[in-house]
Amino acid sequence: MRTAICERLGVEFPLFAFSHCRDVVAAVTNAGGFGVLGAIAYTPEQLDTELTWIDEQVGGRPYGVDVLVPGKVDASALDGGARLAESIPERHRDFVTHLLSKYGVSGPAPVARASADELGRRVTAAGATGLVEVALKHPIGLIASALGPPPPEMVAGARAAGVPVAALVGTVEHARRQVAAGADLIVAQGTEAGGHTGEISTMVLVPQVVDAVAPVPVLAAGGIASGRQMAAAMALGAQGVWCGSVWLTTEEAETAPAVKRKLLAASSLDTVRSRSRTGKPARQLRSAWTEEWDAGQESPGPLGMPLQMLVAETAMQRIGQAAERGEPGAVELANYFVGQVVGQLDRVRPAREVVYEMVSEFGDAVERLARLSR
Ligand SMILES: Cc1cc2nc3c(=O)[nH]c(=O)nc-3n(C[C@H](O)[C@H](O)[C@H](O)COP(=O)(O)O)c2cc1C
């Protein structure tokens, strides 16, 4: 299954693993796939530490880094050095307090991992610059951006370092725009994907994007967690697949145990596209959190990005800690980004095993199809 992108990136299987966990990135890369570390949660210093660790694990095999650079954010919140946290309206603060009390979530006020200003700025082009600079000092094989075109500084830096740029898209128009902005590789991500996602399914989106941006290579994302799904994506014209949800229930993933249990028990009906965690539509596990924000009578409605991220991140830390203590209300509220493939995830496996099973099932599926056409 060597495609042109395998040659270009020097990877054995065109199976890309998006993960926020360095252990998953290293395990997939060492198994012959291509791990991509999501950098959003890190400061530049922390990212440097994570990438140094990965470099030590992967013995020169290629891996990548992904940053979020939204085309549109609630810029007013970032202007004039205003403290981001102070821009959260009273109604929204009160609603969170009300939710935590309604669901009996105990514990001290959460300590934000990043200061409010840091978090807000990290999801802007300016904020991502520090992460990109750090990433390009490591021997990475790809740098990816999501939620908007890669900024010119990112493209220029990557070009100078000889690193290809990938961009995630949910429509044909976005794909054309990203290529015009300098993307070397497009990840066409369907609505069934976990995380920020559009409205078009992978089956419909991928062939349209492949045709629109040819000869630029396209990876398919969204709804791919098995070899059969991988074969289908390649049949649509993709040169490889980019998976996120399937790694959340692997041994290496740092997914909180209470959330991991919910993921393993969930069906494909248990996800929802909601603005309640980040301010932009993102597919996640349906929980009391999404229900209360999206349909609750007292809900003030989610804020934009990045303010809603801040509201949700601080509350979710407290909810997560309470869920680990087994508090039932916190377990009801707890959720995480995940796609519709969650219904296929029913056991914990090493990431390496996921790679080998997908590759083996891909081979079987292709042979079965080949027999059909004889
Ligand atoms: C927990 C989680 C977090 C994600 N965060 C990001 C992110 O920060 N940046 C990004 O480009 N994509 C992110 N994504 C989307 C993935 O890169 C990928 O496109 C998606 O998971 C593919 O669909 P799948 O979930 O059906 O495998 C995230 C996905 C998940 C499941």
The 10s digit of each residue's pLDDT in 185-199 is 999 999 999 999 999
Ligand 1 atom nearest residue 147's Cα = 11
Query: What token pair was written down for 325?
Result: 């203590």
- Looking at residue 77, its pLDDT comes to 53
125: exposed, middle or buried (Cβ count in 10 Å: 0-12, 13-18, 19+): buried
- Looking at residue 45, its pLDDT comes to 94
Strand pairing of 240-243 and 15-19?
parallel
pLDDT over threshold 90, residue 85 = no
Buried b (16+ CB within 10 A) or exposed e, 135-161: bbebebbbbbbbbbbbbeebbebbeee
Instruction: Tell me whether residue 237 is in a domain.
Output: yes
Q: Which residues line ligand 1 (CB under 6 A)?
A: 18, 38, 40, 66, 68, 146, 168, 189, 192-195, 221-224, 242-246, 336-339, 341
Instruction: Tell me whether residue 223 is in a domain.
Output: yes
pLDDT over threshold 70, residue 115 = no
pLDDT over threshold 80, residue 363 = yes
How many A from CA of 222 to the centre of ligand 1? Answer: 8
Instruction: Tell me whether residue 233 is in a domain.
Output: yes
Q: Which residues pair with 240 in a beta bridge?
A: 219
Ligand 1 atom nearest residue 187's Cα = 19
- Looking at residue 257, its pLDDT comes to 96
Co-location of 64 and 90 in the same domain: no
pLDDT digits (tens, 9 = 90+) for 35-45: 999 998 898 99
> Which residue owns the Cα nearest ligand 1 atom 7?
38
Angle between helices 307-324 and 257-265 (to 10 degrees): 90
DSSP state of 250: B
Instruction: Tell me whether residue 340 is in a domain.
Output: no
Co-location of 170 and 233 in the same domain: yes
pLDDT digits (tens, 9 = 90+) for 16-28: 999 999 999 999 9
- Looking at residue 373, its pLDDT comes to 85
> Among 46-60, 76-90, 220-234, 297-311, which stretch is predicted with the lowest mean pLDDT?
76-90
Co-location of 98 and 208 in the same domain: no
- Looking at residue 147, its pLDDT comes to 86
Task: State the total domains in the chain.
Answer: 2
Co-location of 135 and 182 in the same domain: yes
pLDDT digits (tens, 9 = 90+) for 196-222: 999 999 999 999 999 999 999 999 999
- Looking at residue 335, its pLDDT comes to 96
> Of 119, 363, 340, 114, nearest to 234 (Cα)?
363
Instruction: Tell me whether residue 117 is in a domain.
Output: yes
Co-location of 233 and 87 in the same domain: no
3-state DSSP call for residue 40? Answer: coil
- Looking at residue 73, its pLDDT comes to 62
Co-location of 111 and 84 in the same domain: yes
The average pLDDT across 305-311 equals 88
pLDDT over threshold 50, residue 80 = no
CA 357 – CA 119 distance, rounded (Å): 37
pLDDT over threshold 90, residue 149 = no
Long-range contacts formed by 261-268: CB under 8 A, 24+ apart: 262/287, 262/331, 262/334, 262/335, 263/336, 263/338, 263/342, 263/345, 264/345, 264/346, 264/347, 264/348, 266/338, 266/342, 266/343, 266/345, 267/342, 267/343, 268/340, 268/341, 268/342, 268/343, 268/344
Instruction: Tell me whether residue 81 is in a domain.
Output: yes
Residue 287: domain span: 74-121+256-335
Per DSSP, helices labelled H in 137-201 are 152-161, 172-180
The average pLDDT across 319-343 equals 97
How many A from CA of 221 to the centre of ligand 1? Answer: 9
Query: What token pair was written down for 283?
Result: 């597919």
- Mutating to test ligand 1, I would choose from 15, 16, 18, 249 the residue with most ligand atoms within 8 A of its C-beta, which is 18
Co-location of 204 and 249 in the same domain: yes
Residue % of the chain over a pLDDT of 90 = 80
pTM of the model as a whole: 0.95
- Looking at residue 81, its pLDDT comes to 42
CA 279 – CA 4 distance, rounded (Å): 37
pLDDT over threshold 80, residue 120 = no
> Among 111-125, 243-257, 301-315, which stretch is predicted with the lowest mean pLDDT?
111-125
Co-location of 66 and 127 in the same domain: yes
pLDDT over threshold 70, residue 113 = no
How many A from CA of 247 to the centre of ligand 1? Answer: 10
> Of 218, 123, 232, 119, nearest to 174 (Cα)?
218
Q: Find out whether 70 and 305 touch, Cβ atoms under 8 Å.
A: yes
Q: Sign of the CA dihedral 40, 3, 61, 8?
A: negative
> Which residue owns the Cα nearest ligand 1 atom 14?
195
> Which residue owns the Cα nearest ligand 1 atom 11?
146
Co-location of 107 and 156 in the same domain: no
Co-location of 263 and 306 in the same domain: yes
Q: What is the dihedral of CA 106, 111, 112, 115, to 10 degrees?
A: 150
Instruction: Tell me whether residue 208 is in a domain.
Output: yes
- Looking at residue 151, its pLDDT comes to 87
> Of 290, 204, 284, 278, nearest to 244 (Cα)?
284
Query: What token pair was written down for 60?
Result: 């020169």
Instruction: Tell me whether residue 360 is in a domain.
Output: yes
Co-location of 198 and 331 in the same domain: no
Q: How many residues does the chain have?
A: 374
- Looking at residue 106, its pLDDT comes to 83
Co-location of 268 and 326 in the same domain: yes
CATH number at residue 21: 3.20.20.70
- Residue 32 region, left (φ>0) first, then alpha (ψ -120 to 50), else beta? left
